[in-house]
Structure 1
Amino acid sequence: MLPSNHTSHQQEPFWLGNWLRWRGLDPGYDEAHSTEQLKFDVVYTWVNGSDADLQLLRHEYQSKSPLFQLSAAGDTKTIESVTTKRFRDMDELRYSVRSVAQYASSTYRRIHILSTESRPGQAQTPYWLKTALDGSTEGELRVVPHRAMFADSADLPSFNSLAIESQMRNIPGLSDVFIYMNDDVFVGRTMMPSDIWTSLYGFVFHMEASLLIPPTIRPVEANPLNVGEWSSLQYSNFLLSNRFGPRWRAYLAHVTHVLSVPMLNEIYRQWPLDFNSTSSHRFRGEGEAKDIHVSFFMAHYVMEMLRETQLESYWQYRLDANHDGVIDYNERQALLDMVKSWNQNQDLPQDSPQRKRHSRPTILDGHKIILQKVGMQMSGSTDYRYAGLDGFPFMIPTADTSKTIPLLPIKTPGSKPEPQQPYKSYEKPQERTCQLNADFCFGPEFMDTNRTSTLSIYQSQRIFERIAKSEFHCGDCLLELLMQHPSNQGGISAILPKDERSEAFQRVIRKLARYNYVLGTSTYWFIALQGPEQSRNQLKGLTDNRANIAYFCINDDFPNDLKLQTTMHGIFRGFLDERFPLSSPWERPGSLPMIPGSNES
């Protein structure tokens, strides 16, 4: 369980086992659950690149960075044309905060704005923000200087958002579960806690399965200043692939991201050098752009850990039926018989009357009613589409489990090379198919027909590592088989220890709850402002569809020209003033919009 009031991950409500195994709730849930406490902090990364002091500070450290000394042969004009856009402030934060105040009032507890110090001991503060006489911000919104969260002050000042994100787990007083937003992301419809996390269904992740990240390190850019987020995504997937198997992983949608302090601490303990290295890169692109993308990393880490927990529980507590630590012939044969009947059933056409299906509901069946019964509402802005407790969502439907999946796309004559293309995560579990080749997936030791042969703990673990990681498509299909086999009417019960009073059962339940998640979808738009006419048309589309768009991101992607910037700022501000006309509670009355090129901070 992951409540937002700083309660430990490891606390185990007594209703949890009953919920995860049977989807049953008892009166104890209402006693343990308080919707009033289910609020999450919002974290923004922000910088005012127009601040003259910040520009001087940035130029000082750029002159010391090998990245800028090598890039564009030290051509200052070229460097500025590339980098200035990254630090340009279009007043996005003011309106993004308005969107949170307007549409997420029942969801946020406190807003944290992470800010650099443009002058010693003085963090940048938005010009529109109310401050008390002592300079502190008011109420539920606070400015957090980077020095309050960076573990190593030698890494400061930092101009790299990826480095700053790597330290968010250290923000003082941050809620266990929190929402991370870039300042160019806006909430467009009502947001509720169920859009982020619930104790019943876990984290809510928004993925784009049609956009896949390779598990290989991206080649160094010819001009490192052009490095975007893709390098960090690929490096993150490279690290994940070394731990969980070389899978092409889905892009995390550019909306609000759910993160967890305890989860990030857990991840840090496994990859401390990579996190510390990311933190030390003052500018994006330093260190050959080998940075961790925190939001992408945590989402896929959670997904992989839930999958691993499910497979591991079956392998340790159900396959080894007598719990003697070795896998004997009868235990192996029981699994092979189940594989044989599964494959035969999968061979039948979907509409065949002979094809057997179990009748149990999925984890998400009736979830809106269930949440309503326990006092939680669905906002209507997010649809729950797939639960990790029903199986791994990104199984590859065309995976051939008789051989290793190629790491790189396969090129066939006359067609576009495709990577490992998974299910899009929306298909119902009963409608997904796979064939498990036991000879390849389990190997000769497991398939040994000698009735006296046993697999030692070492042999068993080696086979498990194979199906769970290096031949991950085998593990995906095995998990699907266990969860969806017609004879396994209890679904997840097929992988859980049978004795609910055992420490093993309680341990597995704790891990399942810790890594529980659903995949959700929301209507969102991404717009890159590139020129006046194009921007007006796209912003008009946002206005015309405002009732349907839950989130949107507006990225400024136009050249660093003062005249053009003034025009674009006017277009952008006009849209935002119309879309979010109500001031947030933290705005100074009468504060005027920033003028492009000004030195206000």
Structure 2
Amino acid sequence: MEKIDFVVTWVDGNDPIWQTKKAHYQTKNPLLNSEARYRNWQFLHYWFRSVEKNAPWVNRIFLITEGHLPSWLNTAHPKLVHVRHEDYIPAEYLPTYNSNVIELHIHRIKELSSQFVLFNDDMFLNRQMRPTDFFSAGKPRDFGIFSPLVPQANSLDTVILKMNQLINQHFSKQSILKGHFSQYFNLKYGRQLLKNFCVLPWQGVLGFYDPHLPVAYLKSTFEDVWQIEQAELERISQHRFRESDDISHWLMRYWQLASGNFEPQPISVGKNYLIGELPIDIEREINQGKHSLVCLNDNDFLKNFNRAKEMILTAFDNRYPEKSAFEK
């Protein structure tokens, strides 16, 4: 079986040097670049503990940062590779505070394996997982589920719309379903499968189901999309901060789905939680491990950050109390 790497992006929003540099460049789009995009929940060491416990088979872990590292990190761990932005992003796009730019260039990391899983630092493994939970027969596991875009205020829907437009330029829904019918009409999707039936009357791709969970990728997908949409991706790479006409790494995910280069993933594998004022549901999830993959999504509506942070940290410490080998 091919080696599988994990890639996780992290920023220390409390770093005063980073804050000063960021403030020097930031001039617009405050809604798309709010504090919630950068603040440090201090979850990262639990991310490593959960990986060590639930996916000890991982080949290497690539930790991408602007340059700073947590003081507790064991940088000598043989599986850990610290990657700075300047190590793989072309110099003309730096410095960047745009997570889309940081993730769109990931295929340029020289040592990265041909199969990898991309995490944000708010995405966790919360149950034992196998390599075949991410890749099967050399293909990424994912959800072949169509889902119409429902625009919402102060969201990234314009980014998703832009990517859907690109998909419709290169693929037709008819060709997708004709060539990959069993991957889209699959019982593993549970009730979400109804969406695929509901969109049948429309000709184009109205959108894909976005679970906001770790994504299994083929490095070759990034290379192919960059070759086809180089001009557009280079334009986006000049955006130092998130902008409404950005493109995210989800374009590569959509490309894998539209080309049928995936194997169906059970819908029950993961869940995305929006962090609330009293995150009791997240406490329960962490303690009970109902899902294999979870995302704890920060948001601009959370008023009592410190209370929510304390509750979640306590739950993580109860579930993963022992230091991992990635900690000093």
TM range (shorter): 0.7 to 0.9
Does 2:130 match 1:192? yes
| Alpha-carbon distance, 1:272 to partner | 0.2
Answer whether contact 2:283 2:312 (CA < 8 A) is retained.
no
Q: 1:192, 1:93 → 2: CA distance?
A: 22
**Pair 81,519 (structure 1): closer, same or farther in 2 beyond 3 Å:** closer
| Alpha-carbon distance, 1:281 to partner | 0.9
Q: 2:136, 2:301 → 1: CA distance?
A: 43
Does 2:294 match 1:552? yes
2:109 to 168, 171, 175: 171
| Alpha-carbon distance, 1:81 to partner | 11
Q: 2:156, 2:82 → 1: CA distance?
A: 25
- 1:304 alignment counterpart: 258
Answer whether contact 2:60 2:79 (CA < 8 A) is retained.
yes
2:205 counterpart letter in structure 1: R
1:153 to 63, 83, 91: 91
1:51 to 8, 12, 15: 15
- 2:239 alignment counterpart: 281
1:529 to 270, 275, 283: 275
Q: 2:306, 2:137 → 1: CA distance?
A: 47
| Alpha-carbon distance, 1:234 to partner | 1.4
| Alpha-carbon distance, 1:125 to partner | 0.8
Answer whether contact 2:211 2:272 (CA < 8 A) is retained.
no
1:272 to 230, 233, 236: 230
1:100 to 19, 41, 51: 51
Answer whether contact 2:275 2:302 (CA < 8 A) is retained.
no
1:129 to 68, 73, 91: 73
Does 2:281 match 1:541? no
Does 2:140 match 1:203? yes
Q: 1:179 aligns to what SS in structure 2?
A: strand
**Pair 242,542 (structure 1): closer, same or farther in 2 beyond 3 Å:** same
- 2:247 alignment counterpart: 292
Equivalent pairs: percent with the same residue? 23
Answer whether contact 1:208 1:253 (CA < 8 A) is retained.
no
Q: 1:516, 1:55 → 2: CA distance?
A: 40
- 2:79 alignment counterpart: 140
The farther-off stretch of 253-262 and 158-167 is 253-262
Cα deviation, 1:347-374, whole Å, max 9, x if unaligned, reads: xxxxxxxxxxxxxxxxxxxxxxxxxxxx
| Alpha-carbon distance, 1:156 to partner | 0.9
Q: 1:172, 1:553 → 2: CA distance?
A: 28
Q: Which structure 1 segments of 5+ residues have no match? A: 1-34, 72-78, 117-122, 132-136, 307-514, 589-601
Q: 2:307, 2:212 → 1: CA distance?
A: 26
2:295 counterpart letter in structure 1: C
1:527 counterpart letter in structure 2: Y
Higher relative contact order (CA 8 A, sep 6+): 2
| Alpha-carbon distance, 1:82 to partner | 6.5
**Pair 81,160 (structure 1): closer, same or farther in 2 beyond 3 Å:** closer
The normalised TM-score by structure 1 is 0.46
**Pair 126,230 (structure 1): closer, same or farther in 2 beyond 3 Å:** farther
Answer whether contact 2:8 2:121 (CA < 8 A) is retained.
yes
**Pair 281,98 (structure 1): closer, same or farther in 2 beyond 3 Å:** same
Q: 1:180 aligns to what SS in structure 2?
A: strand
Answer whether contact 1:166 1:278 (CA < 8 A) is retained.
no
**Pair 197,560 (structure 1): closer, same or farther in 2 beyond 3 Å:** closer
The farther-off stretch of 241-250 and 80-89 is 80-89
Q: 1:517, 1:543 → 2: CA distance?
A: 27
The normalised TM-score by structure 2 is 0.83
Q: 1:278 aligns to what SS in structure 2?
A: helix
| Alpha-carbon distance, 1:141 to partner | 0.8
1:300 counterpart letter in structure 2: Y
Q: 1:569 aligns to what SS in structure 2?
A: helix
Q: Looking at CA atoms only, which structure, 1 or 2, has the larger radius of gyration? A: 1
Q: 1:576 aligns to what SS in structure 2?
A: helix
1:146 counterpart letter in structure 2: H
| Alpha-carbon distance, 1:99 to partner | 1.1
| Alpha-carbon distance, 1:42 to partner | 0.5
2:220 counterpart letter in structure 1: P
1:87 to 25, 31, 38: 38
| Alpha-carbon distance, 1:570 to partner | 1.6
1:110 to 60, 64, 77: 60
Answer whether contact 1:188 1:550 (CA < 8 A) is retained.
yes
Q: 1:171, 1:206 → 2: CA distance?
A: 26
Answer whether contact 2:286 2:316 (CA < 8 A) is retained.
no
Q: 1:105, 1:49 → 2: CA distance?
A: 29
- 1:255 alignment counterpart: 213
| Alpha-carbon distance, 1:252 to partner | 2.9
Answer whether contact 2:276 2:302 (CA < 8 A) is retained.
no
- 1:244 alignment counterpart: 171
Q: 2:326, 2:286 → 1: CA distance?
A: 25
Q: 2:133, 2:302 → 1: CA distance?
A: 37
Q: 2:318, 2:227 → 1: CA distance?
A: 46
2:69 counterpart letter in structure 1: T
Q: Which structure 2 segments of 5+ residues have no match? A: 173-203
**Pair 543,569 (structure 1): closer, same or farther in 2 beyond 3 Å:** closer
Answer whether contact 2:48 2:326 (CA < 8 A) is retained.
no
- 2:198 alignment counterpart: none
Q: 1:544, 1:579 → 2: CA distance?
A: 6
| Alpha-carbon distance, 1:57 to partner | 0.5
| Alpha-carbon distance, 1:207 to partner | 5.0
**Pair 165,44 (structure 1): closer, same or farther in 2 beyond 3 Å:** same
Cα deviation, 1:256-281, whole Å, max 9, x if unaligned, reads: 21111112101110000121122111
May I ask how many residue pairs the two structures share in their alignment? 297
2:235 counterpart letter in structure 1: S
Cα deviation, 1:49-88, whole Å, max 9, x if unaligned, reads: 00000110010001xx4xx2xx6xxxxxxx5997122110
